Amino acid sequence: MPIIEAHHFGVVEIDNDWRVTGFVEKPKEGAKTIPGRPEMVLASMGNYIFKASVMTDVLQRNALRDAAHDFGKEIIPAMYPRMKVHAYDFAQNFIPGEADLNRGYWRDVGTIDSYFAACLDLVSVTPMFNLYNMQWPIVSAPMNLPPAKFVFADAQTQRIGIATDSMVSDGVIISGGTINRSVLHPRVRVHSYTDIDESILMDGVDVGRHSKIRRAIIDKGVKIPTGTTIGYDVEADRQRFTVTDTGIVVVPKGAEIEEKVMA
């Protein structure tokens, strides 16, 4: 990761042979860069591979200490001074069937904005995170839901069920609504004359007629009443929901939204 992003991550310090020599949690300044690459640091992805016997020994030693028992702050620092601990350069990771464009793809989704950006990576024409590579399939739990369905095609009244540059999951029904650059999780229902743009709708979200949603994350099971507008008035949204500095609106699970009376 670029050194200017170091304060967001646990930074792994290495020598020229990629042996770990230090570990600093979210350094505000002075982060040690990758040898030969003064503009980059090595961010910990939180994935570790050990022999079981080594892991057991380290955990038992740590359990005897009066400490927080934190993996990044205590376990790793206790290992590299007395063991051979090496880092793996994920930027060189090769996946069969993928091009150099998305080699070493990784996103830290610890913030709303980074999670939102990672989701939009999925809907690019040439996705950075490719779910469609049959040489390297991503296997998820089958839900045994019916295929997604798009209904109504009345151009005269603009009652058209359509999705463009989007990912639409099983069990979704887009009933006369328009979806663009969005990710719809299973069992989402979008009713007529609705416009959804650059948004993420979680499992079971139901969007009422004549609603407009832009740059939003709607959590599981939320019912969006008829005529609701989200993502077009930042100040109004902040009074009801969480809004990030970049304008992403988050509607939490269990949110109760007052229905707008249609004229």
Residue 157 one-letter amino acid: T
- What does the pLDDT profile of the chain (263 residues) look like in tens digits? 999 989 988 899 999 999 999 988 889 988 999 999 999 999 988 888 989 999 899 889 888 888 777 777 788 888 888 889 999 989 888 889 888 888 888 888 888 999 999 999 999 888 888 888 999 888 888 899 999 999 999 989 989 999 999 999 999 999 999 999 999 999 999 999 999 999 999 999 999 999 999 999 999 999 999 999 999 999 999 999 999 999 999 999 989 898 876 65
Q: Does residue 79 share a domain with residue 156?
A: no
The span from the CA of 1 to the CA of 9, in Å, is 9
CATH number of the domain at 242, please.
Answer: 2.160.10.10
Tell me whether residue 154 is in a domain: yes
- Helix or strand (DSSP H, E) at 34: none
Within this chain, do residues 167 and 79 fall inside the same structural domain, yes or no?
no
Is the same domain home to 80 and 163?
Answer: no
Residue 260 maps to a domain: no
Residue-level pLDDT at 261: 64
Residue 241 lies in a domain: yes
Q: Is residue 25 part of a domain?
A: yes
The 8-class DSSP code of residue 224 comes to: E
Question: Do residues 169 and 246 share a domain?
Answer: yes
Instruction: Give long-range contacts, CB 8 A cutoff, 24+ apart: 160-169.
Output: 161/190, 165/123, 165/124, 165/125, 166/123, 167/122, 167/123, 169/145
Query: Given its phi and psi angles, is residue 258 left (phi above 0), alpha (psi -120 to 50 degrees) or beta?
Result: beta
Neighbour-count burial of 41, counting CB atoms closer than 10 A to its CB (0-12 exposed, 13-18 middle, 19+ buried):
buried
On whether residue 15 sits in a domain, the answer given is yes
Query: 161 and 87 in one domain?
Result: no
Beta bridge partners of 178: 162, 195
Least Cα distance to 110 among 26, 205, 194 occurs for 26
Residue 182 maps to a domain:
yes
Last residue of a domain, one of 43, 70, 91: 91
- Domain shared by 85 and 153, yes or no: no
Shared domain check, 153 and 242: yes
Final residue in a domain of this structure, among 91, 110, 141: 91
- CA 126 to CA 49: how far, in whole Å? 32
- Of 75, 91, 107, which residue constitutes the final position of a domain? 91
Distance of CA 52 to the CA centre of its chain: 31
159 neighbors 175 (Cβ within 8 angstroms)? no
| CA-based nearest residue to 179, from 235, 225, 218 | 218
**Residues 166, 72 share a domain:** no
Q: Is residue 82 part of a domain?
A: yes
Give the total number of structural domains in the chain.
Answer: 2
- What predicted TM-score, i.e. pTM, was given to this entire model? 0.85
The answer to the question of residue 101 being in a domain is no
| Residue range of the domain that includes 240 | 149-251
User: For position 203, what pLDDT does the model report?
Assistant: 97
